[in-house]
Amino acid sequence: MKTLSRLLLCFLFLTAAKANAQETFAPLISENCVAFVHVDFTKVELDNVKSFLQKTGEDFLTQLGFDERSHRATARELAVELEKLDFLVRPYFDTVTKALGIRECAIIVDMSIVELGNGIGVVAFPWKNKTAEQRETLCSLVIALTDIPERAVKEGMFQVGDFLFLPMVDDSRIKATEGIVKGWLDKDTPVNSPIHEALQSVAGAEVKFAVAIPGQVRTMIQNAPLPPDMSLEVRNFLLFAAQRIDWASASVSLHNILGTEPPKNNDVLMTVKMASPSHARMLHGMLENLIEFGVNFAQFTMERESDNVPLIFQSPFVFQFAKGLLRTTLPDVEEDKLLFRQRSGGQVAVATAGMGFALLLPAVQAAREAARRMQCMNHMKQILLAIHNYHDTTNSLPPLYTVDANGKPLHSWRVLLLPYMEQTALYEAIRLDEPWDSPHNSQFHGMAPAVYRCPSSPQGGSSYSAIVGGSLVPNTKAHSSGEHTFARITDGMSNTLAIVEVNDSFNWMAPHGNITLEELAEGVNAPGNRVGSFHPGGMNVGLFDGSVRFINNNVSSEILRILGNPASGRAVPAF
């Protein structure tokens, strides 16, 4: 709902006062409160706001190198526009602070309201000893500043106790929202919510933001499906943060923004409270890894697409500089908290980073294939992890395919890995005692997990193959404990291929379609050979140690034959 976008923007623009903490709204914080924003409207001087914006604009013109005549003309136009803005804003501001006597408001996002659907929470105003005329005035103000229909505003607002609420839900949910709000005020004892602690950490700020993660939200995040092509680094970071962050708080000092008080170096801008000191250190390390991963990915992309990338982005110095620049944004760790602070030269760093991203934009288009290749590598890593989990659970490698009592192939190894890649429901729906193409099982042919397909492949089906004559062998049934284990890979896990790409995809459930050792030895992307990929220059291969490598088209048949054989007894030459 577009309820308060312009209204909130106006409020934030007008707010420049010392905050009197959030105690006014403490009774409205429930155990299901996810986010809380507190704003004050006192001691605002609009003339100071205008002066600051005028000075900032003129300084910007000077930095751009405007000549004196152009500078004066543009500055005059800026002054005219600011007068227009003041003319529009001042009446609303006077109405809020004088006619209505509203000193503060809060925006409350609560899971109980979110679960109603089509809404997120309420905007709350202190409303003790207010009149019906004042309520009508506030309704008119909201209608003027937003696109909410007049009827929706007047019928949607409701009062409970000493507060007036404007729900951010559709009309059909207003009564239910009112019932939830009454429950907040009817409780006998105050709720001990992490939101309270988060707000206390920024009690002196003019505008305060607090976010907490209730237990039910943690469960929702944990069970929510993440994009299958998301990198493991990002995936692990999101899941860890959702499970281990207790609360986060941030503040906005409008005195700093308006220039009346310059920002102080080392001021805390944001605090993240973790479950324990060790978790704080772990999250800090994961942030460092994300920077390393992100910059390395950019460098990998540029190197692979060097023909279409500006020369400056082919220098290792650029990427080392980017890492150093991004590390300046890392928080400090103090006990169980991560503190993001105001750094000296922060504005320069932000400007430099912005310029860097702008320069990178032309290279992004050229890097799409490299990004898809990285996604392909992540797909293969997930498959390799599933193979390891299968082995840990069953004490056996998954069979190349299962067979019935007469030796007829039934299902491929991909089907057997489903429970180990969060696809248990699909696995249980498939009848393993029937062939993969039986009438019942045929309905699942088009339901291949995304992890089985290379993002660069224009075809459907599976892009990844095991090797017939390699480490996986046919078996009469799945989960045959002890028959075929990692012990049979005598050449070493880091020297033996588990899966490779193919450029002729096939149905993911089919027991056939895997390449043979002889096909592998014919070479990568050789004419008429299925061994290869849709990536320029080579293909990705997955090794049994869980690593994924990109091998070039010119790799020798000798090396491929050794890599595909788990017990060749020969050392792998460098490649």
Pairwise pLDDT comparison (233 vs 488), residue with the higher score:
488
Listed residue (103, 109, 313, 68) closest to 217, CA to CA: 109
- Fill in the amino acid letter for 184: W
**Which tokens is 200 given?**
């206390």
Over residues 50-74, the mean pLDDT reads 78
Q: What is the DSSP-derived secondary structure letter of residue 264? A: P
CA–CA gap between residue 538 and residue 555 (Å, rounded): 9
> Does the pLDDT of residue 406 top 90, yes or no?
no
Listed residue (45, 130, 165) closest to 93, CA to CA: 45
pLDDT value at residue 82: 83
Supply the mean pLDDT for the chain: 79
> What distance lies between CA 33 and its chain's CA centroid?
21
* 61 class by beta-carbon count within 10 Å (0-12 exposed, 13-18 middle, 19+ buried): middle
pLDDT value at residue 7: 42
CA–CA gap between residue 381 and residue 363 (Å, rounded): 27
**Which tokens is 519 given?**
């096909």
Residues whose CB falls within 8 Å of the CB of residue 368, separated by 6 or more in sequence, listed in order: none
Question: Which segment of 276-280, 420-424, 483-487 scores lowest on mean pLDDT?
Answer: 483-487
Percent of the chain at pLDDT exceeding 70: 81
> What distance lies between CA 343 and its chain's CA centroid?
25
Over residues 310-323, the mean pLDDT reads 70
> What number of residues does the chain have?
575
**Which tokens is 190 given?**
């105050």
Listed residue (66, 170, 63, 190) closest to 116, CA to CA: 170
Q: What is the pLDDT of residues 12-45, one digit of tens each?
A: 333 333 334 457 888 888 888 889 998 877 656 6
Residue boundaries of the structural domains of the chain? 1-195+250-258, 370-564
Q: What is the pLDDT of residues 339-350, one digit of tens each?
A: 988 765 444 444
